[in-house]
Structure 1
């Protein structure tokens, strides 16, 4: 390897062939490195690369076009490529050892502002319910994401076999999660009823598919198609990740403990906190989701699922939700009729 491009292309071949990494990560890294890094520094000899050249040819020009976080990702990927190449003896030494994004950028990296806030719920819920009633095959994905705060990639990989009617849970296998650990979400009466209505609305060919969100031919909906669906439903005003952020920020309003909220969206809490919550974690998750879905019911969610749940979302501290209605038991049929 004599040039920066040799190292980057070799690293990309390893990353893009690594099935343990998410498809989204592999695709985004490939795009970032081929569109921005390789054209600018791909032909630079390894012996000439240093902080000054990196700033002049890569970092400063990228700052003129991209957000700081995108520049940071490019530098992190470049650093990872060189460390891997050095570790395998493919290059004699790492010319970027010790180089960090902070060498070039001193500003504060602010998270991308959410396009949805809690005040939007009153209009958002009826809008999503209307989309579901008009076409359940299109409206189910955003409703499920708002109801559970799941990532779009995790939601799209859901199979009917991941839904346990006896236990009333949705299991997301560790291979499908960003954290690479199994995530178990309780299914409330509302969601069980929603799943039932959704199944009844699916065309027969799709009903036979293993996936919760199938397309013609039986395969699951592709990520690109799902993002296009979200753009259509939202009118390009918000994204799938905004639904996840909105669900998480709304939990505090209905009295859900911070740690339980973090567990629900599968954030890592640390060994001590997770050990403390182990004994009753599932029960606390279930109660939190019941509160959240009752809150959504107050805003019109019931028009989509049709279940009768006679509990207000804003429960007094220490209260235990009491459920009523036909869907308190598992109600998702695996067959029509």
Structure 2
């Protein structure tokens, strides 16, 4: 390999065929490198590539047009490409060795502000319940994400076989998670009721598919279609990730322990921290989700799932609430388990 473009294209051919990486990562990185990196760096000879040239031809021009995090991601992609090429002996020396984004940018990288805050929760719940009651196929996805804090790609890959009524859990296989580890979410009576109502209105053709979020023809809803649905439901005011952020930030308001909240959204805590979780992890997750869904009920969630659960979420004492009512009927899973 003699040019920067050869290294980048070779690397893209490798990652785009790597199923261990998420489809979102492969697509976004491919788009970023082809739209911004290759047009600027394609013909640059490797023997001339250094930090000065990289700054003049790529980093500085990108800073004039794009957000710092986008520039950072482009540089990360180039570093990975050159590191892999060097590791396989395809180039003799890595001209980007030791280069970091901080060599070019000293500002603070701030996270993207959330479009939804705690004060938006009452209105959001009322809106999503209204959408669900008008069209369950449209309202189910945002409600499930708000209820569990799952990522949109993980949620879309849910199969009915992942839902167990016997164990009252939703299992997200490790192949479907960003963390690449299995994620098990307890199913509360409210969610079982929501799933039952959802299945009641699905046409038979979609009930016969393995996917929870299926489309005409039997396949699962595509990521692009799901994001378009979110734009429609939100009026372009918030995204699927904003639902996840809102769920996580709201857990502290109802007294959920920080570590339990991190486990619920499948963040890695580290081996040492997880080792010292003294109580059964699944029990703590279930209690946290019951409390969260009780809070949603206080804001009108019951209008979607139709299950009677008498349990205040905002307790003044540490007493465990008493629950009333039973879980939804067994039609949630076509396999009954």
Shorter-chain TM-score tier: over 0.9
Given that 1:3 and 1:43 are in contact with CA atoms closer than 8 Å, whether structure 2 keeps it comes out as: yes
Q: 1:332 maps to which residue?
A: 332
Q: Are residue 123 (structure 1) and residue 106 (structure 2) matched?
A: no
**CA deviation vs aligned residue, 1:260-285 (integer Å, no higher than 9, x gap):** 00000000111121112264111111
Given that 1:165 and 1:331 are in contact with CA atoms closer than 8 Å, whether structure 2 keeps it comes out as: no
Given that 1:151 and 1:241 are in contact with CA atoms closer than 8 Å, whether structure 2 keeps it comes out as: yes
Q: 2:285 maps to which residue?
A: 285
**Could you tell me how far apart the structure 1 residues matched to 2:107 and 2:44 are?**
28
Residue 315 of structure 1, CA deviation: 2.7
Q: Which runs of 5+ in 1 are unaligned?
A: none
Q: Are residue 225 (structure 1) and residue 225 (structure 2) matched?
A: yes
Q: 1:200 maps to which residue?
A: 200
Q: Judging changes above 3 Å, is the alpha-carbon distance between structure 1 residues 335 and 136 closer, same or farther for their aligned structure 2 residues?
A: farther
Q: 1:132 maps to which residue?
A: 132
Q: Under a length normalisation based on structure 2, what TM-score does the superposition of the two structures give?
A: 0.97
**How is 1:1-337 mapped onto 2 (pairs within 5 angstroms)?**
1-277=1-277, 279-327=279-327, 332=332, 334=334
Residue 334 of structure 1, CA deviation: 2.4
Q: How many residues align?
A: 336
Residue 321 of structure 1, CA deviation: 3.4
**Could you tell me how far apart the structure 1 residues matched to 2:264 and 2:278 are?**
13
**Could you tell me how far apart the structure 1 residues matched to 2:55 and 2:290 are?**
52
Given that 2:161 and 2:333 are in contact with CA atoms closer than 8 Å, whether structure 1 keeps it comes out as: no
Q: Judging changes above 3 Å, is the alpha-carbon distance between structure 1 residues 96 and 153 closer, same or farther for their aligned structure 2 residues?
A: same
**Could you tell me how far apart the structure 1 residues matched to 2:82 and 2:334 are?**
51
Given that 2:161 and 2:335 are in contact with CA atoms closer than 8 Å, whether structure 1 keeps it comes out as: no
**Could you tell me how far apart the structure 2 residues matched to 1:30 and 1:60 are?**
21
Residue 175 of structure 1, CA deviation: 0.3
Residue 328 of structure 1, CA deviation: 6.8
Given that 1:193 and 1:331 are in contact with CA atoms closer than 8 Å, whether structure 2 keeps it comes out as: no
Could you say what secondary structure the match of 1:110 adopts?
A: coil
**Could you tell me how far apart the structure 2 residues matched to 1:164 and 1:90 are?**
49
Given that 1:166 and 1:330 are in contact with CA atoms closer than 8 Å, whether structure 2 keeps it comes out as: no
Give structure 1 regions of 4+ aligned residues with deviation exceeding 6 angstroms: none
Given that 1:188 and 1:289 are in contact with CA atoms closer than 8 Å, whether structure 2 keeps it comes out as: yes
Residue 320 of structure 1, CA deviation: 2.2
Given that 2:171 and 2:184 are in contact with CA atoms closer than 8 Å, whether structure 1 keeps it comes out as: yes
Could you say what secondary structure the match of 1:25 adopts?
A: helix
Could you say what secondary structure the match of 1:106 adopts?
A: coil
More deviation in 266-275 or 223-232?
A: 266-275
Given that 1:287 and 1:321 are in contact with CA atoms closer than 8 Å, whether structure 2 keeps it comes out as: no
Q: Under a length normalisation based on structure 1, what TM-score does the superposition of the two structures give?
A: 0.97
**Could you tell me how far apart the structure 1 residues matched to 2:8 and 2:169 are?**
43
Given that 1:7 and 1:82 are in contact with CA atoms closer than 8 Å, whether structure 2 keeps it comes out as: yes
How much is the aligned-residue C-alpha RMSD, in angstroms?
Answer: 1.4
